């Protein structure tokens, strides 16, 4: 029996003609903040539902806290905390009533669980008599996290906890996860947003039910195989067309305020490529052109890995 | 024609726009302009007044004070004309899932008042452009999310609106589809369409020409992404946003 909090091997799950999970294998280490990163349809929610024993896999095995997700479902359920992607509290109950309800379902009480949830619950405690439905997005999220923690779980599973909340609440939420992890709790969290992956110790990139890569966030960017450049001009659509007309283009796509360009030729100094690019772009009606080497990030690596794994759409 | 030619025509002009609900001022005397062909990001914290401001700009809510012109028409006195000249796409609910691709095009074309011939011609061009022709008779429900979102954008552009409003247009899609989506937006902007994007995601805002950030009913900051980062001494728009909103909220508490 494994000491790892989560061990998944060759997990598969189909819904009719749709393959939700296709041979997924991963391991989560104790006190790790582990990210499942990928777009909608990547398989994140299906994986969570299997880990929380709400779905039975078609293929493969999964153990949670050393217990099998099919055989030992009742033990797993009492030892994990789960925050589903959709708001799942009782809107007509108050903040405190929700907490007491979830505590009682797990055979405990708000008082027994208080020390665990205190850092989070204190922020919403002034509103303890307010109906949950009347809370702001950020406060709902903190209440849902408190409800998932009140029975002192050994593993916390969070499915897209930050979708739909603003950047300030999102940052506060990730700060809370840092504190929980520092207290020794193992956390698995999913997000469709690549920029949130950097807050995790390790991430698994999921696409179309398959794992594209597993690594530390910083290491994933370095998997990008070519020199990468951030190219700017005021005329973005024209710049993109000009870059794609360059004979040595491996990839060119919008990336924030810039276009990310990678060169198909290996072994050339970035400065030489940049100079050639500037020369090429000078022939086009572009203003304020700038070409600068840039370190590839997770999103660059994800796009590259999707290309090799087969993209969803043409 | 370049969308950056400094043309004088403003697609959106907002002056002192205000909306009160009882004693609460949701939008408090905001003023800004958006140029024709500009990609403009409209951001704010939850509850900052974004939704109220947009409802006024698309002619669904009357202002308490101030004025705004969208696509050349006054939102207070000419809301019907405003609605005819704009397109709107929200993240997921723009298309009818139980209708086919072609039925959705016919439905929206009809609502926008296009003739049968226009619906056919523009519908065919849409299907061609998105390579959806082989799936014209498939239920929208059966399409991958990325296809749906690109199609929803194209349908919102069917009547060639002067301004198109997009609500979190690329939330949840894969990074490749996301870029295809932004290329559609840039192409529309290069043809002169003004694109008004609302989003919670600052990395999505990075794709806009200019952004504004609403704080407590007011415009807290406005400028290009690079200019805002310079102004706030920040490396990311996320940092700009957090500093701006935390600064304002420090007195009010969490």
A3 in contact with chain B, both atoms CB, cutoff 8 A: no
The secondary structure element, H or E, covering residue B107 is helix B101-111
8 Å CB contact of A169 and B46: yes
Strand partners, A155: A80, A186
Task: Compute the average pLDDT of residues A86-114.
Answer: 94
Q: Distance from A173 to chain B by nearest Cα, in Å?
A: 13
Q: Which of A165, A237, A253 sits opposite B179 (nearest CB)?
A: A253
| Residue-wise burial string across B190-205, b where 16 or more C-beta atoms lie within 10 A, e elsewhere | bebbbbbbbbbbbbbb
Residues B91, B178: Cα–Cα separation, whole Å: 13
Cα B20 to Cα B56: distance, rounded to the nearest angstrom: 12
Touching check for A287 and chain B: CB below 8 Å?
yes
pLDDT at B160: 94
B201 in contact with A, Cβ within 8 Å: yes
Q: What residues contact B179, with CB distance under 8 A and at least 6 apart?
A: A253, A254, A255, A303
Residues of A in contact with B179 (CB under 8 A): 253-255, 303
- Contact (CB<8Å) B45/A307: no
Contacts of B8 (CB under 8 A, 6+ apart): none
| Residue of A110, A108, A107, A140 whose CA lies nearest to A123 | A140
Q: What's the CA gap between A35 and A213, in Å, rounded?
A: 12
Task: Give this prediction's pTM.
Answer: 0.87
Q: Which site among A41, A95, A168 would you substitute to test the B interface, given the most B Cβ atoms closer than 10 Å to its Cβ?
A: A168
Greater confidence, A137 or B57? B57
Structure tokens at A290: 């700038």
What is the structure's pLDDT at B248? Answer: 67
Q: Which residue of B has its CA nearest to A124?
A: B254
- Cβ separation B238–A123 shorter than 8 A: no
Check pLDDT > 60 for residue A312: no
Strands A202-207 and A33-37: parallel
pLDDT of residue B203: 83
Sign for the CA dihedral angle at B74, B75, B81, B85 comes to positive
Q: Tell me which residue of A48, A3, A2 sits closest to A21, measured CA to CA.
A: A48
pLDDT tens-digit profile of A45-69? 999 999 999 999 999 999 999 999 9
Higher-scoring residue by pLDDT: A87, B221: B221
Q: Is B144 on the interface with A (CB under 8 A)?
A: yes
Question: In this predicted model, which residue has the larger pLDDT, B200 or A96?
Answer: A96
Residues 6+ apart with CB under 8 A from A274: A229, A291, A292, A293
Distance of CA A118 to the CA centre of its chain: 25
Could you give the CA distance from residue A36 to residue A249 in angstroms, rounded to a whole number?
A: 31
A167/B245 Cβ within 8 A:
yes
User: Is A82 within 8 Å of chain B by CB?
Assistant: no
Q: Which tokens belong to A168?
A: 């300030």
Enumerate the β-bridge partners of residue A26. A8
The pLDDT of residue A194? 86
- Provide the chain B residues 16-45 that lie in CB contact (below 8 A) with chain A: 44-45
Q: What is the mean pLDDT of residues A123-134?
A: 95
Residues B101-151: pLDDT tens digits?
999 999 999 998 999 999 999 999 999 999 999 999 999 999 888 888 889
The half-sphere exposure of B129 on its side-chain side, counting CA atoms within 13 A, is 19
For A189, phi and psi rounded to 5 degrees?
-130, 140
Using a 10 angstrom Cβ sphere, with 0-12 exposed, 13-18 middle and 19 or more buried, the burial of residue B80 is exposed
Tokens for A38?
A: 């990928």
Residues of B in contact with A255 (CB under 8 A): 179
B42 and B198 in contact (C-beta within 8 Å)?
Answer: yes
By Cβ distance, the residue of A137, A166, A313 closest to B144 is A313
Within 8 A of A168 by CB-CB distance, chain B residues are 45, 241-242, 245-246, 249
Give DSSP secondary structure letters for A6-48: EEEEEEEEEETTEEEEEEEEEEE-TT-EEEEE--TTSSHHHHH
β-pair type (A80-83, A155-158): parallel
Tens-binned pLDDT, residue by residue, of chain B (254 aa): 444 434 447 999 999 999 999 999 999 999 999 999 999 999 998 888 998 999 999 999 999 999 999 999 999 999 999 999 999 998 666 799 999 999 999 999 999 899 999 999 999 999 999 999 999 999 999 988 888 888 999 999 999 999 999 988 887 788 888 899 999 999 999 999 999 999 888 888 999 999 999 999 999 999 999 999 999 999 989 999 999 988 765 544 43
What is the rounded average pLDDT of the residues A233-241?
92
Per CB-CB distance under 8 Å, the chain A contacts of B200 are 164-167, 170
Does B173 sit within 8 Å of A40, measured CB to CB? yes
A 214-273 → B contacts, CB under 8 A: 234-238, 240, 253-257
Q: Output the 3-class SS for A92-131.
A: CCEHHHHHHHHHHHCCCCHHHHHHHHHHHHHHHHHHCCCE
Q: Kind and range of the H or E element at A147?
A: helix A137-149
């Amino acid at each position: 029996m494994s000491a790892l909090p989560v061990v998944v091997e060759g997990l598969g799950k189909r819904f009719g003609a749709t393959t939700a999970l296709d041979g997924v294998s991963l391991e989560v280490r104790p006190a790790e903040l582990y990210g499942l990163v990928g777009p909608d349809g990547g398989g994140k929610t299906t994986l969570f539902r299997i880990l929380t024993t709400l779905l039975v896999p078609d293929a493969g095995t999964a153990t949670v806290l050393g217990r099998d997700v099919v055989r030992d479902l009742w033990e797993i359920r009492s030892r994990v905390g789960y925050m589903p992607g959709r708001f799942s509290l009782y809107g007509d109950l108050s903040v405190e009533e929700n907490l007491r309800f979830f505590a009682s379902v797990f055979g405990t009480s708000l008082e027994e669980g208080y020390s665990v949830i205190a850092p989070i619950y204190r922020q919403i405690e002034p509103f303890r008599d307010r109906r949950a439905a009347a809370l702001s997005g950020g406060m709902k999220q903190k209440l849902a996290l408190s409800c998932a923690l009140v029975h002192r779980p050994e593993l916390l599973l969070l499915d897209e906890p930050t979708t739909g909340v603003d950047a300030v609440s999102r940052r506060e939420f990730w700060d809370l996860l840092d504190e929980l992890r520092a207290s020794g709790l193992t956390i698995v969290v999913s997000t469709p947003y690549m920029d949130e992956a950097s807050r995790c110790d390790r991430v698994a990139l999921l696409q179309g039910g398959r794992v594209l890569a597993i690594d530390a966030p910083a290491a994933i960017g370095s998997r990008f195989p070519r020199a990468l450049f951030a190219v700017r001009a005021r005329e973005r659509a024209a710049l993109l067309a000009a870059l794609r007309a360059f004979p040595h283009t491996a990839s060119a796509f919008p990336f924030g305020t810039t276009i990310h360009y990678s060169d198909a030729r290996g072994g050339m100094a970035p400065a030489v490529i940049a100079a050639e690019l500037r020369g090429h772009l000078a022939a086009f009606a572009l203003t304020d052109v700038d070409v600068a080497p840039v370190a590839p990030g997770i999103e660059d690596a994800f796009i590259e890995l999707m290309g090799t794994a087969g993209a969803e759409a043409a | 024609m370049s969308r950056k030619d400094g043309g004088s025509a403003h697609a959106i002009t907002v002056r002192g726009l205000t909306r009160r609900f009882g004693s609460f001022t949701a939008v408090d005397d905001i003023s800004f302009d958006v140029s024709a062909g500009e990609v403009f990001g409209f951001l704010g914290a939850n509850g900052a007044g974004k939704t109220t401001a947009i409802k006024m700009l698309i002619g669904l809510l009357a202002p308490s004070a101030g004025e705004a012109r969208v696509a050349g028409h006054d939102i207070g006195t000419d809301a019907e004309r405003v609605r005819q000249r704009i397109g709107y796409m929200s993240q997921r609910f723009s298309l009818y899932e139980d209708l086919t691709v072609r039925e959705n095009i016919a439905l929206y074309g009809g609502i926008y008042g296009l003739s049968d011939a226009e619906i056919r011609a523009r519908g065919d061009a849409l299907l061609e452009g998105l390579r959806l022709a082989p799936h014209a008779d498939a239920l929208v429900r059966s399409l991958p999310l990325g296809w749906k979102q690109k199609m929803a954008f194209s349908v919102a552009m069917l009547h060639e609106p002067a301004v198109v409003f997009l609500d979190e247009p690329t939330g949840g899609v894969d990074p490749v589809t996301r870029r295809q989506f932004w290329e559609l937006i840039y192409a529309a902007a290069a043809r002169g369409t003004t694109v008004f994007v609302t989003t919670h995601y600052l990395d999505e805002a990075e794709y806009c020409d200019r952004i504004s950030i609403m704080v407590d009913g007011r415009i807290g900051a406005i400028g290009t992404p690079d200019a805002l980062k310079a102004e706030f001494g920040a490396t990311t728009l996320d940092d700009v946003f957090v500093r701006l909103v935390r600064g304002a909220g420090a007195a009010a508490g969490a």
